[in-house]
A and B are shown apart, each in its own frame.
Chain A
């Protein structure tokens, strides 16, 4: 419990803030809020107290409160910036992120874009959000619920009420809470005054008015003057988290180099917001999060799609084979195509095909001609590519197919995330058509997954499907930048010119891969294609026994990849009652849940799969050590069924969420706890 003295202290602080605040701000401009605050003084103070309690107890986030400095140290915090799609909330979030990086916190983010390109202004469907979770330890998720919400209009408040904690701090632009906007958002009463926000610390600042005021002397027109109001909110939040603003100003100076007036406007507004937050002392305390103990090195922020593209570029450079991407735009995978298209200086060719099929088939052609060939898509596109993947299986040419999974079936939920393409990746083709299947586990891991997928495809001469998902694709996290030379070597089995022993389907004894005889090489002319091929010679063959032999060889080639991938790791005890299992993009949230449960003293272990086909060699052994296995995934149970099929001897349970949304840490913890206690 808070001691009595502390409570009183906060009470006193809260009262003093009104006094100070009224002293500092221009009476004319802020008369209305002033009155508003005075009228609601009691209520406001109560809210403030509740807020303190939140940081102290409910979320166990308090490490130390230095009352003198009024700086509360937190382990982590989640902020959600929300506004109309035109309000620049992605930029606001990213600028806050930059300052977070500078102080050395670990972080993860998730943008929440509107599904429509130009949704009506001021409506719920036009709300754009950006969430960031930052802390003084390893951060694996963008956070369940936000502790701080910045809402620039009524719609963004309404749209985000389910995404904040019960006692979150809410910063709103009170100027935007006019009748017209509230109707658009579907509010019958003003949420700022109808008591519906009780329990929150509400800071309803007239941001638009103060923004205009701050830039008055620049002589901007009304519309331009309002443009930088997001920077006012940013200034407030920077103050709140004890950040300095000089780097943000540096950003303005670079970004708007050609437009000094815009630099000046943003600068003035940012500083105004910062000082406003200081002046009103609305937060009673400010917050501080110590740097996370990250490994030494050079860092940056990456989204999953960016990391995927860069992983491929790195693999291309390291393998010495030009990158060819044949692809067709599709949400949420298009950014990979867009990124590769920027990098012709690395001889990387991004071919935007006329459809998904041409995308992959051009990729197969490029592979035949010796490129490191990849194609990128999402679920519906993977369906269209099925037949061509079979061709790559039959011709045993290396290609990588990236499926950035989204909600399905059919068009489904293009902007939402799901893990429901697993069975399609494993089996969605005619005939026996095994491929390697990998699943990236975080935004930064997309880099290594793309790299490994390329390495495995080329070294084992087989298609590889790399599964990521919408959450990884658009989410971002801290990325320790590697040196390309430090990444594992990639040595494709290129056939030498005039190799007298070359036969199209002669295999390596260990890997069972055939050689890559690049079209154009002297002395290796040969034909391949979709018809079954005779072992060794590669001649078309309808021989029944040859077909059985080749079918088994193709499978065994993929099975043997297990010798070239890492073993499965267990977090926690290596044997026990309950093993929680996940795969792909759920890694961060599952790990967070398990870590928290274990800190709380629960006995539970965790194993996460990145390699799906083949499974790591020790999978059977790992699973056999536990009485119960709980498989958590964002689908109806595709991975659990795959495990049941592969290792039927174990006792499996499943926990699934199919809402187009990632798991929350809290719901995983609740479920696991109920199993442990039940």
Chain B
């Protein structure tokens, strides 16, 4: 698992991972940019190309494995996490990437999502959150904002939405990051960090469905408003944002608050410094919950805490049992306990 492989020796390029299949997402769909970012990342990770496995569930995003020249398996709706877990447990050397959407992982696969996070196998989850069902043509999803009118909510939805980051924190997840599909550079950087993290790393990608939910993330992503609504988090750096870099986040009482540097005696010193490594997920949860217009959306790696992975624990137990068990073969096992000879 920890094999150090010289990337230069591998000499992989984007080309090694491009499939010969025609990419069939709608023109303008955010998925194209995500695919590009993943193609940027895979060659530079130092992992031999046959060790990548891309798994998915069902949805527009879940066509992803067909568009990558790796091992791939396109599963059934909601269950990619279970596929990924089975693969990773069987062969921990594989670099497993799970592609899922907000319907796939927050609705039908909600249960698997929280459990994979809880167990913490070393897989990378790319959660394409466009807040709508695209493949089935426009029904609301568990992340659709309350009140949104869609094909199945003509009067507006009556439900409070999920925030994937909060679910990750609630399930004691160790890695959560958020990126926007409009920034390939940011995606490339964060995907790489997710890959290096040992354990389940969930990256929520605010992705635009041009057809059924166009501009759903516009406040965060559009050129005009993004600076005021994006807070890109970096470890050890103060949480400062805004076009003029004049806004920041402070902790007041038990709540986060947006402040203006230079006003009311606030200086840079007062601004919270980001630490993604704290075991306590309190601040991370609050950061994940922040949404415009009251707050900027937190982007980048919000939480990254080291911990043992599921497969490490399981295979350590295998090694221990192999060493200590008296049973060296199934023949031994069949002869344990009460046996008798008939002659």
Identify the A interface with B (CB < 8 A). Answer: 98, 101-102, 104, 291, 294-301, 310, 313-314, 317, 322, 324, 326, 343-347, 349, 351, 353-355, 357-359, 361-371, 373, 387-388, 390-391, 395, 481-485, 519-531, 539-540
Contact present for A104 and B342 (CB under 8 Å): yes
List residues of B (81-137) whose CB comes within 8 Å of A's CBs: 81-87, 89-91, 93-94, 111-112, 115
- The segment from B188-196, B228-236, B279-287, B319-327 found at the interface with A is B319-327
Query: Does any Cβ of A come within 8 Å of B317's Cβ?
Result: yes
Quick check: A295 and B338 within 8 Å, CB to CB? no
Question: What's the minimum C-beta distance from B79 to chain A, rounded to whole angstroms?
Answer: 4
List, in ascending order, chain B residues with CB within 8 A of A524's CB: 50
Q: Which 5 A-B pairs have the closest CB atoms?
A: A529-B74, A365-B86, A362-B86, A345-B325, A361-B82
Picked from A317, A357, A521, the residue with its CB within 8 Å of the CB of B330 is A317
A298-B341, A310-B334, A364-B86 are known; give 19 further A-B pairs, CB within 8 A: A104-B342, A298-B340, A324-B86, A344-B317, A358-B81, A362-B85, A363-B86, A364-B75, A365-B73, A365-B82, A368-B53, A395-B73, A481-B339, A483-B331, A521-B50, A523-B50, A527-B19, A527-B66, A530-B76
Interfacial chain A residues near B343, Cβ < 8 Å: 296
Sampled A-B contacts (9; CB under 8 Å): A300-B338, A345-B322, A354-B112, A362-B86, A365-B90, A391-B75, A395-B73, A484-B330, A525-B50
> Looking across the interface, which residue of chain A has its beta carbon closest to that of B339?
A300
Known: A324-B86, A366-B90. A300 touches B333 (CB 8 A): no
A313 with B330: CB separation less than 8 A: yes
Contact A313 B65 (CB under 8 A): no
Question: What residues of chain B have their CB less than 8 Å away from a CB belonging to chain A?
Answer: 19, 21, 48-51, 53, 55-56, 58, 65-66, 68-76, 79, 81-87, 89-91, 93-94, 111-112, 115, 314, 317-318, 320-322, 324-325, 327-331, 333-335, 337-343
CB atoms of A520 and B71 under 8 A apart:
yes
Question: What residues on B are CB-neighbors of A294 within 8 Å?
Answer: 342
Q: How far is the CB of B149 from chain A (nearest CB, A)?
A: 31
**Closest residue to A307 on the B side, CB-wise?**
B334
Q: Is A346 a contact of B330 with CB atoms below 8 Å?
A: yes
**Which residues from B are CB-within-8-Å of A104?**
340, 342
Q: Nearest Cβ in chain A — how far from B188, in angstroms?
A: 22
Pairwise interchain contact B338-A101, C-beta atoms closer than 8 A = yes
The interface centre, meaning the residue of B68, B337, B342 with most chain A CB atoms within 10 A of its CB, is B342
Verify B72–A528 contact, CB threshold 8 A.
yes
B90 touches A354 (CB 8 A): no
Nearest chain A CB to B56 CB, angstrom units: 8
Inside 8 A of B81's CB, which chain A residues have their CB? 358
Residue of A with least CB distance to B95: A520
What is the CA–CA distance of A519 and B48 in the complex, to the nearest angstrom? 12
The verdict on A519 contacting B89 (CB below 8 Å), with A102-B340, A525-B71 known, is no
- Cβ–Cβ contact B335 & A369, under 8 A: no
Residues of chain A lying within 8 A (CB to CB) of residue B66: 527, 529, 540
CB distance from A101 to the nearest CB of B (A): 5
* Given A483-B331, A529-B65, A345 and B50 contact (CB-CB distance below 8 Å): no
- State which of A300, A357, A530 has its C-beta within 8 Å of the C-beta of B82: A357
For residue B49, which residues in chain A have a CB less than 8 angstroms away from its CB?
Answer: 525
Nearest chain B CB to A345 CB, angstrom units: 4
The residue in chain B whose Cβ has the minimal distance to the Cβ of A365 is B86
Could you say which residues of chain A place their CB within 8 Å of the CB of B86?
324, 326, 351, 361-369, 371, 373
Beyond A299-B341, A326-B82, is A361–B76 a contact (Cβ under 8 Å)?
yes
Set of chain A residues within 8 Å of B74, measured between Cβ atoms:
527-531
Pick from A310, A349, A520 the residue with the most CB of B within 10 Å: A520
Contact A343 to B91, CB < 8 A, known contacts A300-B334, A365-B55, A523-B50: no
CB neighbours of B340 from chain A (8 A): 101-102, 104, 298-300
User: Given A361-B82, A364-B83 in contact, is the A344-B71 Cβ separation under 8 Å?
Assistant: no
> Complex formed: what's the CA distance from A354 to B111 in Å?
8
For residue A264, give the distance in angstroms from its CB to the closest CB of chain B.
Answer: 23
A519 touching B87 in the complex, CB below 8 Å, given contacts A298-B335, A527-B66: yes
Partner pick for B51 among A298, A485, A520, A526, CB 8 A cutoff: A520
Q: For the complex formed, measure the closest distance between the CB of B338 and the CB atoms of chain A, giving whole angstroms.
A: 6
B73 touching A370, Cβ below 8 Å:
no
Contacts of B324 in A (CB 8 A): 345
Q: A299-B340, A357-B82, A525-B50 are in contact. Are A366 and B334 (CB under 8 A)?
A: no
Q: Are B94 and A369 in contact (CB under 8 A)?
A: yes
User: A345 — nearest CB in chain B belongs to which residue?
Assistant: B325
Given contacts A324-B89, A345-B321, A354-B112, contact A365 B83 (CB under 8 A): yes
Residues in B whose Cβ lies below 8 Å from that of A540: 21, 66
Partner of B76, one of A98, A387, A485: A387
- B310: nearest residue on chain A (CB-CB)? A351
Closest chain-A Cβ to B309's Cβ sits at a distance in Å of 14
With contact pairs A298-B335, A361-B75, A484-B331 given, residues A371 and B90 touching in the complex (Cβ less than 8 Å): yes
CB closest residue in chain B, given A527: B72
* Residues A361 and B72 in contact in the complex (CB < 8 Å), given A300-B339, A345-B321, A519-B91: no
